[in-house]
Structure 1
Amino acid sequence: MMPSQTDLTAGTVAQSDGAGGTWQTLRRDVGAMLGLGYIALVTLVAVFAPVLTSISGWTPYEFDQTAIDPNLGGMPIGAWGGMGAEHWLGVEPGSGRDIFARIVYGARVSMSIALSATALTTVLGVSLGLVAGYFGGRVDLVVSRVMDFLMAFPALIFMIAVLSALPAGNRSTLLVVVISAFGWPYLARIVRGQTMSLAQREFVEAARAAGASGTRIVFREILPNLRSTIIVMATLAVPGYIGTEAGLSFLGVGVVPPAPSWGQMIAASVKWYAVDPAYFVVPGVCLFLLVLSFTVLGDRLRAVVDAQEGR
């Protein structure tokens, strides 16, 4: 007897039913909600950066020489790096650029690079993991060997070498490509393992018996059942990519000045933090809270999904 449509999509329905339960559980978790709230705040700040800087009256590239004291080597005038009604978070020592303006535009840079790298990593990792896990054979052998090579490769050293050798133009795109090139194997390995397990399940066997093609089975039967895993892994990948971008910018091979970046601001603050700690604290706290928020949210989400799936 031919299997019914209900039989073919049993795994997908179970995943759909679990989505509402996952959200309800996360809503009761204070840590997850605080993390999600801060992520939403930073996202809004990044999206509306031009509006916020027009309200503050300063762009991230303007120099305010009246806000620094040339007799003190360019130290900001006033307490805590010149914080006040004119400059809400103070000014950069030596240049007088508004820190608030550079923070909000730096949020746009950090979030856009991290989210773009996560999206590209997810597409590559999921696609190659699905193909390797389901079709096996030589395809699996080739994909697995490439994953092993990239995971064993000293990624940070290679990133620094490549970005140092390439022209500075369109550095954000280069960062996304380089970060994604070394990030996808971690997701692909997990997707491959779960695909191999799901390929032996009854609903997949039913789809084969119904004459479904391999491509249809992979993308219509197996992929929907990996949704929770993919979401969790992507959420946990974002803080790593934010930190990678900040670290590369700190080392001088990331975002090119004068474009603002939190990592770049932290690097520039090193020689000033003893006399102007605010210049180091403001971008440092913003970066720390964003990475922490994504990490906590991803960890809570993973715990909820594991509990629902009985792991």
Structure 2
Amino acid sequence: MTAIPIQPATGPTKGPAEGEEGAPSTAGGAPPPPRPRAWRALARDKGAVLSASYILLIVAMAVFAPLIVKVSGWGPYEFDQTAVDPNLAGVPLGDWGGAGGEHWFGVEPGSGRDIFARIVYGARVSMLIALSATALTTFLGVLFGLLAGYLGGTVDWVISRVMDFLMAFPALIFMIAILSALPAGNRSTLLVVVISVFGWPYLARIVRGQTMSLARREFVEAARASGASSAAIVFREILPNLRSTIIVMTTLAVPGYIGTEAGLSFLGVGVVPPTPSWGQMIASSVSWYSVVPTYFAIPGAFLFLLVLSFTVLGDRLRAVLDPEGVR
């Protein structure tokens, strides 16, 4: 079970010197120039290409889930009692969990629901929750990190104490407690909110440290001297120079949130049945894995490969966009 990724606290980091690739511009504080060599290097990396390809495949599967399921012939909520043996507690008929031309990945023991259809719709649920939580976490982390790092003083003290308070909690335990106490309705939205509440301080801590460093750079001082407002300095001068860090940290956060959603669903406080979820499917397969191992292996393999792909892609992005590493 994968919990929210925890990044070490960071202080101010030294950015590239003027004139170097990716350095802040002193001419009006223009955003750093693009780095085509870095992207070409990423395109030549087989691990990054394979990871990105698998992620795109899952995204396409989630987006076109209704069409894909229509082609397969079975919906995620349809029962096929003819595919299971009622005399053996609903064990699927045939080898490999009943896999064949009618049910491509076999059927669920007991219910006879099509595993392929539930995998496809489970991808939609898992990706929607993970990407929504990542988007909200990134927004909050960048916003509060910029405010704390640039304004300093009381604002920095208050935001830093809130970050310390949230980071001190054992996040997974509190997520389980909170979600158990909340109503089951609209559980996907609740998952996004709860995951984001405990996730944003880690990105905010890094953004704060780099903002404090950039705020002392010459191009920011020049913008202040020219009469630029604080909002203009933060969003036009500093934020563009945090682009690489934000991209890297966001990519590395997604696999953690996918694993968190799956873990919470596995524990029974995530997505509510009968809505399909990979974590929920793995939880349901526990009592069957010795009889129908494919019921456990298929959603487990999809989940493992997706988390691995995001992790590898994030690591490769960090190598090409932030060669000194996020400290």
For 1:303, give the aligned amino acid.
A
Change in CA separation of 1:247 and 1:309 when aligned onto 2, cut-off 3 Å: closer
Q: Residue 9 of structure 1: CA displacement?
A: 2.2
Structure 1 or 2: more helix by fraction: 1
Alpha-carbon displacement from aligned partner over 1:242-299 (angstroms, at most 9, x marks no partner): 0000000000000000000000000000000001000000000000000000000001
Equivalent in the alignment of 2:22: none
1:28, distance to aligned residue in structure 2 (A): 0.8
Counterpart position of 1:249: 265
Aligned counterpart, 1:66? 82
Shift >6 Å, 4+ stretches: 308-311
Residue 286 of structure 1 pairs with residue 302 of structure 2? yes
Cα distance change of structure 1 residues 308 and 154 upon mapping to structure 2, 3 Å threshold: closer
1:133, 1:222 → 2: CA distance? 10
5+ residue gaps, structure 2, are 1-24
Code of the residue aligned with 2:266 in structure 1: it is F
CA distance in 1, matches of 2:303, 2:62: 13
Instruction: Please report how far the alpha carbon of residue 22 of structure 1 lies from its aligned counterpart in structure 2 after TM superposition.
Output: 2.6
**2:181 maps to which of 156, 165, 187:** 165
Name the structure 1 match of 2:164. Answer: 148
Q: Do structure 1's residue 9 and structure 2's residue 29 form an aligned pair? A: yes
Letter in 1 for 2:34: D
Q: Does 1:228 align with 2:244?
A: yes
- Deviation, 1:308, is 7.9
Q: How many pairs are equivalent? A: 303
Instruction: From 59, 66, 73, give the equivalent of 1:43.
Output: 59
Looking at structure 2, the residues matched to 205 and 271 of structure 1 have their Cα atoms a distance apart, in angstroms, of 64
Residue 139 (structure 1) shift = 0.2
Report the counterpart of residue 81 of structure 1 in structure 2. 97
The alpha-carbon deviation at position 73 of structure 1 amounts to 1.0
Distance 2:315 2:326 in 1: 16
The answer on 1:53 being equivalent to 2:63 is no
Offset of 1:129 from its aligned partner? 0.1
Equivalent residue letter for 1:17: P
**Distance in structure 2 (CA, Å) of the matches to 1:102 and 1:187:** 33
Aligned to 1:27: 43
Deviations 1:23-54, CA, capped at 9 Å, x for gaps: 21110111011100000000000000000000
Matched with 1:269 is 285
Q: Distance in 2 between matches of 1:239 and 1:102?
A: 20
Secondary structure of 1:7's match?
coil
Specify the alignment match of 1:124 in structure 2.
Answer: 140
Contact 2:39 2:320 in 1 (8 A): no
Shift of 1:6: 6.1
Aligned equivalents of 1:234 and 1:128: distance in 2? 16
Give the SS at the match of 1:178. Answer: helix
Query: Is contact 1:8-1:204 (8 Å) kept?
Result: no
CA contact (8 A) 2:138 2:200 kept: yes
Q: Distance in 1 between matches of 2:312 and 2:325?
A: 20
- Aligned partner of 1:104 in structure 2 is 120
For the 8 Å contact 1:60–1:97, the answer to whether it is kept is yes
| SS of the residue 2:322 aligns to | helix
CA distance in structure 2 between the aligned counterparts of 1:205 and 1:277, rounded to whole angstroms? 63
The DSSP-based 3-state class of the residue aligned with 1:307 is coil
TM-score, normalising length: structure 1: 0.95
